[in-house]
Amino acid sequence: MTHADKSSKKQTCQQKNSIGIFADIQNVSSIKGKGHLLLEFAQSKGRIGCKNVYYNLHYIDQVSIKNELEILGMKGVNVPDSSENSADYRLINDCINWVAFNASVNIIILVLGDWDYAGLICILKALAKKVIIFGQRGSASPKLIKLVGNENFYFVDELPQLVGNSNKTQPQNTSLMSQINCKEAIEYLIEAIKTASRQGKPTVFGHIDKLMRQRCANYQGYLSISTDDGKKFKSFSQFIDVAVRDGKVKKQNQQLFLTELDILAA
């Protein structure tokens, strides 16, 4: 088999992979500032079908991380019960239910490090699902690492290297993600703001990003937007700043509004 045939086969396999991400913020707070890298890592493996992040509304630091991840398109799941292991139980229940109703999923990425999740991992492995774990250095259970194997366990702070190495050794992965140019993305941004306004919904970054995904199949988050010079945006907020400078939208307190011109056009 030629190198090109091997690359094509690997690319086809990655396109078929269906992935679920379940992250416990309380367990791995070091995910802060690295959510975009986690998503890029997952996208290099296949198509992401679920991106849940669990937090407790009563803890400001957890809410801050949750807000950051929601901007990236992840779904925040509030577990206000402060009793021991409450977030663990909710994550485990949601993960098992999602896998049960999505038989095609074959990779589960867990951001956690507690031994309490050992049962979930055993169930997933029994169902022939590949389990990849990202833990927090210094607090991850050695038993948990042994359960999935060193080849499927990483520390969150390794993400920059993992994503960088993937880009260098597997440049074809970037083509797996549909692309949309900046001008088109701004048009969908405007439509999303109009829709949210008509529905009486908040025009916060996370909700607008979600509406854009619903209306444009090629839009899969800010990483799928290509700038005029071929570069990628580092965050959804950076893309918004370009739209603001272009005079298309206004930003105030993390909410987005149409400019006078776009209001008249609506």
- Residues 62 and 54: their CA atoms lie apart, in Å, by 9
Q: How many other C-beta atoms are found inside a 10 Å radius of the C-beta of residue 242?
A: 17
What Rg do the C-alpha atoms of the chain give, in angstroms?
19
Q: CA-CA distance, 223 to 72, in Å (whole number)?
A: 9
The tokens for 205 are 């970054």
**Extents of the domains making up the chain:** 3-176, 180-265
Please give the C-alpha separations between residue 216 and each of 118, 225, 258, in angstroms, as whole numbers: 38, 12, 20
Closest CA to 75 of 100, 99, 105, 52: 52
Which of 119, 140, 131 lies closest to 27, judged by CA? 140
Mean pLDDT by 10 residues, the chain (266 residues): 46 66 91 92 91 92 90 91 81 95 92 91 95 89 88 92 64 50 88 88 83 76 78 81 88 80 45
Q: What is the pLDDT of residues 210-223, one digit of tens each?
A: 788 777 767 777 77
Answer left, alpha or beta for residue 76, where phi above 0 means left and psi between -120 and 50 means alpha.
beta
Q: Which CATH superfamily is domain 3-176 in?
A: 5'-nuclease (3.40.50.1010)
Q: Say yes or no: domain 180-265 is CATH 1.10.3470.
A: no
> What letter would DSSP give residue 104?
T
pLDDT in tens, 28-86: 988 998 999 999 999 988 999 999 999 998 888 889 999 999 988 899 999 988 776 78
Q: What is the pTM of this model?
A: 0.61
How many angstroms separate the CA atoms of 215 and 229, rounded? 25
Taking the C-alpha atoms of 64, 65, 68 and 70 in order, what is their torsion angle to the nearest 10 degrees? -110
Q: Whole-angstrom distance between the N-terminal and C-terminal Cα of the chain?
A: 56
